[in-house]
């Protein structure tokens, strides 16, 4: 039985709505309505948190919405925290699409989590999302950390897919700028380069429900005003020069066996280790890209989200 067959069988038994591939012929706004709109209300073992609160972060182009998650085991502030960037190819996704993942990261790590609702394309093209990531980091370091109960010196960055790109970029940018570096980076099936797209040959099993070569081109075409920017080191941190990689914070990279981004994640971890950076990987060989958003129907996804939190919490001294 293929992954697709097993997934459909489980979905039918649980009477869940069908998850269809995105129709890339639609305008962007209907696509956003399609993206990861899953009902988490009846999810098994959903973690109970001490507090969930809306935040506003000042950005260069205007206020940035954010959400603070405080787990029951966070302890007396200030304590360690995680700055989280959602996936969605810089075009899709928001605070709600990744709400349950942030809850589980907070519960597993015992750290406060701040999720950032950065600007999306095509309304806001490159480097808008990257600028918002830097603005959020600067806010945490300067005064936002204290307001959220977070010790800025014990702050990690994290993100899935395109959000993993923003987390990796932020770490490299702090090396380049000699600014305050994150204490840890958690990269969840990260998008680490936007250059090699058409050579990503994928069977239906590899692409699963959420990803395809056409989808990569759709995202790239909306976010990058100039195709030549795909090799910009902000956009493709995998190809950054060695001087940008030395001295990076420790990294943990979560990978999926059926994911066209797997190999670049493996390559990035190997590259970091060759330069003396502490980097580890955890591969879920039977999972597809984006599986951490399938927690209502996958015990593996629920376990993996919590384990990613545990790794981060231990790195930050919260556990």
- pLDDT of 23 reads 61
Cβ neighbour number for residue 284 with a 10 Å cutoff = 20
- As annotated, the active-site residues are 161, 259, 289
pLDDT, tens digit, 9 for 90 and up, residues 190-236:
999 998 865 655 555 444 456 777 788 889 999 999 989 999 999 99
pLDDT bracket for residue 16 (50, 70, 90): very low
CA distance 4 to 6: 6
- Whose structure tokens read 């943990």? 252
Provide the number of structural domains found in the chain.
1
CATH code of 256's domain? 3.40.50.1820
Q: State pTM to two decimals.
A: 0.92
For the chain, what is the largest distance between any 2 Cα atoms, rounded to a whole number of angstroms? 53
Task: Identify the residue with better confidence: 195 or 25.
Answer: 195
pLDDT, tens digit, 9 for 90 and up, residues 158-170:
999 999 999 999 9
Closest C-alpha to 22, from 255, 214, 220 = 214
Asked if pLDDT for residue 293 goes beyond 70, the answer is: yes
> What's the token pair of residue 137?
């980091």
φ/ψ (deg, to 5) at 154: -120, 45
Question: Which positions ≥6 away from 89 have C-beta within 8 Å?
Answer: 161, 162, 191, 215, 216, 218, 219, 222, 223
Percentage above 90 pLDDT, the chain = 71
pLDDT, tens digit, 9 for 90 and up, residues 55-94:
999 998 999 999 999 999 899 999 999 999 999 999 999 9
Domain that holds residue 253: 3-315
Closest C-alpha to 92, from 34, 13, 11 = 34
Distances (CA, A) of 133 to 50, 66, 217, 254: 26, 11, 23, 21
């Amino acid at each position: 039985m293929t992954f697709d067959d097993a997934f459909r069988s489980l979905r039918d038994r649980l009477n869940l709505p069908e998850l269809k591939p995105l129709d890339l012929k639609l305008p962007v706004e209907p696509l956003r309505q399609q993206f990861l709109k899953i009902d988490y209300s009846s999810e098994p073992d959903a973690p109970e948190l001490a507090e969930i609160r809306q935040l506003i972060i000042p950005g260069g182009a205007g206020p940035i919405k954010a959400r603070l998650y405080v787990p029951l085991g966070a302890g007396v502030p200030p304590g360690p925290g995680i700055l989280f960037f959602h996936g969605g190819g810089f075009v899709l996704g928001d605070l709600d699409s990744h709400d349950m993942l942030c809850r589980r990261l907070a519960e597993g790590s015992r750290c406060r989590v701040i999720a950032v609702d950065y600007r999306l394309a095509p309304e806001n093209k490159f480097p808008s999302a990257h600028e918002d990531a830097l603005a959020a980091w600067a806010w945490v370091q300067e005064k936002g950390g204290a307001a959220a109960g977070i010790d800025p010196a014990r702050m990690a960055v994290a993100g899935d897919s395109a959000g993993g790109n923003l987390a990796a970029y932020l770490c490299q940018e702090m090396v380049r700028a000699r600014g305050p570096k994150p204490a840890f980076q958690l990269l969840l099936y990260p998008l680490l380069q936007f250059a090699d797209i058409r050579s990503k040959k994928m069977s239906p099993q590899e692409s699963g429900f959420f990803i395809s070569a056409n989808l990569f081109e759709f995202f790239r075409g909306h976010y990058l005003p100039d195709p030549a920017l795909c090799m910009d080191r902000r956009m493709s941190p995998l190809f950054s020069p060695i001087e940008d990689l030395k001295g990076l914070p420790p990294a943990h990279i979560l990978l999926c066996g059926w994911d066209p981004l797997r190999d670049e994640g493996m390559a990035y971890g190997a590259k970091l280790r060759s330069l003396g950076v502490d980097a580890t990987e955890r591969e879920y060989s039977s999972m597809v890209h984006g599986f951490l958003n399938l927690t209502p129907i996958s015990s593996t996804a629920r376990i993996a989200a919590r384990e990613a939190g545990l790794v981060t919490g231990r790195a930050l001294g919260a556990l």
